[in-house]
Chain A
Amino acid sequence: MIEFKHVNKWFGKLHVLNDVNLDIDPGEVLVICGPSGSGKSTLIRCINRLENIQEGEIIVDGVPVHDKKTNLTKLRADIGFVFQQFHLYPHMTVLQNVMLAPVNVKKMSSAAAEKISKEKLTQVGLTDKAGAYPAQLSGGQQQRVAIARGLAMSPKIMLFDEPTSALDPEMIGEVLDVMVNLVSEGMTMCVVTHEMGFAKKVADRVLFMDFGKIIETGRPDEFFDNPQTLRAADFISKILTH
């Protein structure tokens, strides 16, 4: 479903993605972890071309992402993206936030868009907050709205960039629950996170990155209990003891 072929990317002199090769199957849940600055966020931001790459090829659902002729609007409409800082539109209500893209990108009628938006808000447990503004919601609720906003486009893939890192500890659970629920629906997901519990419970594969390279990949239980590389072992011990 998502394929990286010898992808290289530099920020100036910094080699942020170093010969990345990766194959993600439909319905697969991939967790990406690694120290900060290891290129994990950049990796998933390349999938919907929030970032450009200098070398190699990324193919999503048969479409070469970084080809000049690619219809980016259509590509992005099929990929939901959830940010660390939620990035809801503060001047719109929750419902308007969720409806914006279905109406303007998918050209749905507002009645149809409202219907699907309310369904998705119900799915994330926020039916009663449709008329609220983002500033009136807690961090966890805002992030769930952001997930509903992605889901309202009926995407084939959902990308999560550290979705729980900006949250207070007691709100992490509610967001992870929504994501676990998505996994059970068979969504293809790439999640940048350090939530080991989530990774162990639902991930099909864990990918460990450092210095722009994929250092290690494996099943979550194998990766966390018995890492093959020193760097991964060091990283795991750090997130465990801390």
Chain B
Amino acid sequence: MTQSRWLPYALIAPAMVFLGIFFIVPLVQTIMLSFQGGSGFGLENYSKMVGDLNFGLAIKNTFLLVLTVIPLQVGLALAMGMMLQKMTAGRDVVLWIWTIPLGVSDLAAGLVWLALLQNTGYINSMLFAMGLIEGPTPWLNSETPVTLFVAVVLAEVWRATAIVLVILVGGLQLIPKEFGEAAEIFGAKPWTRFTRITLPLLKPSLQSALILRTVLAFEVFAVVYALGGRNFPVLVGEAYVWQRENQNYGVAAAYAVLVMIISLAATIFWLRALRTKPEAQA
């Protein structure tokens, strides 16, 4: 139809305005807020943040979590995706089961694993039945930082592998079977086919899965709270505490800005690390 020039703009205008008000404005405000302290404009909030006892711990914990969880999730999702490729009967059911956690919130996931890992929980019951422990054993308090960390990793992998899986399966479906078959005819073994054909062609999907997951992983907070309370400080959790309990919006905003900078850096990192040349795209 005769292209009305104004129509597309009218159609995107409401979304534009909304994102302007609820994304751009708070973004700018958060940054401003983080520089406003009791003594005017400056780095006061940041020095308060860095000086806090939990700050170093929160940074360490958050990064440790991201660096452990993401490779596990990608590896697991790749394995699951390849399994689904091979499956004929029951593929839909299995896929549905594997994507259930997609709808589970981080808070709920934390509570699920709390049910399993609490002192008199199911995992302890199992270990007891196997004779490995002698009675109810705590895993999630400040004296057991390693098992608490493992618990958070378990909950995160359990909950958020599904999103990586869905993105990767979507990408796998776009790769024509002929490529693998051609490689097979020329004598490529399954592992070679996976590393030389599938993985390179999957790069764009891997990239978007990694960006999405990394940004969300730096936001990790409710899982940790459900499992260990404040025994395991993470960055967004600290922002919550400063806003909620200390009523200090400035320091909370400083944490928010820090998380944003880290997220943005991670995004840029993945964009560069997994760049596909335009002419090499499938």
Answer whether A and B are interacting partners.
no
Interface residues of A (CB under 8 A from B): none
Interface residues of B (CB under 8 A from A): none
